[in-house]
Amino acid sequence: MPDWLYHLPVIWMSVVVIAGTALVAALVYGVAMAFAAHGRAPMLKAVSPVMLTPLAVLFGLIVAFLCSQVWGDAQRANATVAREASALRTVILLAANFPGDAETRIRALVRRHIRDAVDKEWPAMARQEATLATPSAEAAEIPEMTLIVRAQNEAGAVVQREMLSAFQAANDARRERIVISQSSINWIKWTAVFVLAILILFTIAFVHIDNRGTVAVAMTIFSVGAATCIVLIAAHNRPFTGEIRVGPVLLLQIMPRQ
């Protein structure tokens, strides 16, 4: 699937997919009618309608597996962003136990972490260009800051350890969402879907080759159904891309004020 298709609103994605499916169906129809015009209609009509059953079952199974994959990725992405936001919220709350200047600096670093994620990482994840090569500056600075703050008592030491643990959890979640952003359906799976859909269209045309009206109606019904499945999968294929995507709303909700 072309990369630009995933960035379209769902309505325009549907228009493009339906138009493409209609074009393919028209080509299959034209080829089938051309065969019939050359006296091969009796041979083609001999194709058993039973052939449609295994092809339809295979098509349905593949669509079901792909839907399971993309919805699973979307759920993982939502859960990862929620874990990151929860961990950063814990950092903000624990920062109140540090001296004033340290608390201000930690809150500012968390704010910068979120702002970088929203302004830089999310657009990169939408293009599947985000990588783990460069960790955030805050990942190294906040642990260093918490270590240099002296714990006045045992309770302070516990707060210090909990903050380090929370920020580590936030960084783990950040890395996981970047990894998830690379997830998508590869070209082999898409090829299997398209090949099976085309084979079903040809089978429909051959079975009803002596009745052009029936061929047109049956192919139209299947084409609309196939296009619906393709749009459903494509709209959810990349968790951080497109209109139906996982956004940074939770991170923005917990971002500390200046």
Query: Residue 115 corresponds to which tokens in the numbers above?
Result: 């702002």
8 A C-beta contact, residue 201 and residue 98: no
Does 251 have pLDDT greater than 90? yes
Q: Give pLDDT tens digits for 193-208.
A: 999 999 999 999 988 8
Residue 151 has pLDDT above 70, yes or no: no
Whether the CB-CB separation of 106 and 145 falls below 8 Å is answered with: yes
Look at residue 148 and tell me whether its pLDDT is greater than 60.
no
**What mean pLDDT comes out for the span 59-64?**
95
Phi, psi (deg, nearest 5) at residue 58: -60, -45
State the average pLDDT over residues 146-153. Answer: 57
Q: State the DSSP code for 7.
A: T
**What mean pLDDT comes out for the span 155-179?**
84
User: What pLDDT digit, counting tens, does each position of 67-119 carry?
Assistant: 999 999 999 999 999 999 999 999 888 888 877 777 888 888 888 889 989 99
pLDDT confidence band for 42 (50 / 70 / 90): confident
Dist CA 92 CA 76 (whole Å)? 24
Q: How many CA atoms lie less than 13 Å away from 204 in the CB half-sphere?
A: 24
3-class state of residue 200 by DSSP: helix
- Residue 152 pLDDT > 60: no
User: Pick the residue with more confidence: 241 or 43?
Assistant: 241
Residue with tokens 């930690």: 106
Q: Which one, of 22, 20, 17, lies nearest residue 221 by Cα?
A: 22
Distances (CA, A) of 149 to 25, 97, 169: 69, 11, 21
Q: What is the pLDDT of residue 21?
A: 95
Residue labelled with tokens 């028209």? 26
pLDDT of residue 140 exceeding 70: no
Q: Give the count of domains, the chain.
A: 1
Kindly state the average pLDDT of the residues 163-176.
Answer: 88
pLDDT at 222 over 90: yes
**Closest alpha carbon to 242 in 8, 78, 72, 14:** 8
Q: What is the 3-state secondary structure (H, E, C) of 44-92?
A: HHCCCHHHHHHHHHHHHHHHHHHHHHHHHHHHHHHHHHHHHHHHHHHHH
Tell me if 224 sits within 8 A of 19, measured CB to CB: no
Token couple for 111: 């704010």
Percentage of the chain beyond pLDDT 70 is 89
Structural domain of 53:
3-254
Q: Three-class SS of residue 133?
A: coil
Which whole number is the average pLDDT over 30-42? 79
Compute the CA torsion angle 44, 50, 51, 52 (nearest 10 deg).
100
Mean pLDDT, all residues of the chain: 86
pLDDT number for residue 90 = 92
More confident residue, 162 or 38: 162
